[in-house]
Every structure is written in structure tokens, then in C-alpha cells.
Amino acid sequence: MDEEHISGWISDLTVFEDTDRAVYQWLAEHRRLDAAAAAEELGLGVEETAAALERLLAARLVHADPEEPGAGYAVAPEVAAAQLAAPVEDEIRTRQYELFRMRRQLQQFTSAYQRGTLAAGGALEVVSGMQTVRTLMTRAAAACRSEVFTCQPAGGFRTPETLRDTLERDRPLLERGIRLRVLHPHTSRFHAPTQAYVAAASALGAEHRTAHDLFGRLVVYDRETAFLPLSDGSWGAVVVREPHTVTYLCELFEHSWEQATVFADAAGQGLEQVAREIDRTILRLLGAGLKDEAIARRLGMSLRTARRHIADIMDRLGADSRFQAGAAAAQAGLLTEDC
């Protein structure tokens, strides 16, 4: 049977009916390819039984005995499946080998590309398009040897679907023993999907912390390759490989990490303290004259939530303006850690 015929039968296996199963069982018992005899005993039409026999032969569930005309025997379904699948599996193996050869042939240009792009200023590579960025990050993650750290700053919470995808990308890294550290804004502690993601990732070995004011989005692999967002707000990225720049970004992350608060169990880890830090940050930003929109972006909360916080703080301080609230808080010593 050629591959086209086999593919057709594989796609049509769902057309088997009770008639086919009855004829198959009869053949297993009698070992005869006799449609008329099977039809008579089973109470079926001869044409119907002959058609069922043809389907069973084509599906490799029944074989004709080459040494005895008219004789045949039933074959175990798993054996028939193996016979039908064999040419398909051969094709898959052939395609996999072709992919392997293609990648190996192209990889010989990797070192030349890296040397050439670095010599031509390619230590900073601007990449457009979310799919291209994901491909590069997936490649960097697969080649990662020791650690990954990332900063997920304020500017809107990730959706539950995005967080599930993130967890599935984190899992292989953690299972390989890669150290994974993530910085979040304090407001993530009050976001249920983020709480669930952090709890699941922490159980796998990831480390998460929060801070009230983060420096910006950043992902670094093995302290060698860093991904930064484009300033135009698009889904592109700047890939940084220049060693001195990457080292500076790593030091920036480490400084924020040391100042941040451990985040693994949102329910039992200092929500009251975090809330106070958020209020102090709002007061500082009010005193600096920032607008509501800027404060909301810095803290990773919606504009409506930020305005609700601001209104509550102003009410408690008896302030008539945002600047007055910041100044009053400074005079009252409310901006210190021990307030």
C-alpha cells in the first residue's frame, strides 16, 4: 500500500462500524476470507460483509494467508497500527534529520556573525516585532547556563493567559537548575493572577521580590545578553551584548534586588508594610509635582486607583492640593521609613 493510500486510511478510521467489528471477530474465530459464510452466520448482507472485509484488509486488521487460498487471519490492532504508522514515522525521522543538518550547516556562521556584528557596532541590536523578540529570547533561554533575572516594572498587570505562558517558559529553566529572579512592583502583591503565578513559580525554585519604584523593563541571560524595551512603546527590543553595558545593567538590577521585599506568599508577607510604602511613594511623587497619570505609571496601577489613593491621602492630611499634600507629609515626617 503506498503512502497516499495509507494516509487516506488513517484519516478514515473513524468510519468503522459495528459491521466491521462483527466481521473482524468472525474472521478471528474462523480464519476464513469467506464473505458469504460470514454474512450468513452474522445475519448480514453479502455485499455489506464483503465491503467490511475489504476495509479490514486495507486497514491491516486482516491478512490473507499466502499459503492457503481463501484462508486469512485477524491481526492485533496494535500490530496493524504499527504497520500503518511505519512509513509515516520514517518520513518524520527523515524530516527531523533534514532539520538537524540544516541547523548544523547554518550554525557554522554563528561565530562569524557575532564577530562581525560586534565589530560593526552590533553589540546593540534593534529588533522589531514581538515574534522576532520572542524567538531571540527563546534561543537565549535554551542556551542559558546559570541564571536569568528580569525586572517587570509598573505599567499594567499581565493577563492570566500571559502569566500561564510565562510559567511554562520558566519551568524548563528551573528544572535545569537555572537561577531565576524576578522583580515586580509592590502593587503586584494585590493582583490575584500575579499572586498565583508567583506562588507556582516559587514552588519550582524561582525567586520573586517587589519594590515601590523600579527602573524599567529588563531581561538578562547569564550576565551576557540583555533585552531592553524600545522607547517608542512598540513590541520591539534592544538586544545588548556589549560586556560593559551588560555589567552596568546587572549592577542596576542587583541594587534594586537588595532593596526589594521578598514575594512568595502574598497573603502572609507584609501587605500592610507594602501599602505604607506605596503611600509614601505617592506622597514623594506628589511633592515632586508629578501628575496623576505619571504616578499611576510609576506604581503600576490604573489611573482610577491612583486617584483614589491620592484623594484618600489628601483627605487624611487635610490638603487642598497635591503639592500641599506632599509638603505637609514631609513636614510631618511621614516620608521616612519609621513613620
Q: What is the DSSP string of 246-285?
A: HHHHHHHHHHHHHHSEE-S-GGGS-HHHHHHHHHHHHHHH
Q: CA–CA separation, 302 vs 328, rounded Å?
A: 25
pLDDT of residue 268: 53
pLDDT of residue 272: 64
Q: Which DSSP helix (H) or strand (E) runs through 157? A: none
pLDDT of residue 245: 92
pLDDT of residue 232: 82
Which residues neighbour 228 within 8 Å (Cβ) at sequence distance 6 or greater?
216, 217, 218, 237, 238, 240, 249
Q: Which DSSP helix (H) or strand (E) runs through 339? A: none
Residues of the chain with pLDDT under 70: 1-15, 114-122, 154-157, 265-274, 300, 323, 326, 330, 332-339
Residue 261 vs residues 24, 251, 257: alpha-carbon distances, Å = 68, 18, 8
Model confidence pLDDT, tens digit, residues 42-83 = 899 999 989 999 889 888 899 988 888 888 888 898 888 888
Model confidence pLDDT, tens digit, residues 180-203 = 999 998 888 877 888 889 989 999
pLDDT of residue 9: 47
pLDDT of residue 328: 73
Tell me which residue of 271, 277, 259 sits closest to 189, measured CA to CA. 271
Residue 238 vs residues 132, 194, 232, 298: alpha-carbon distances, Å = 12, 26, 12, 22
pLDDT of residue 178: 95
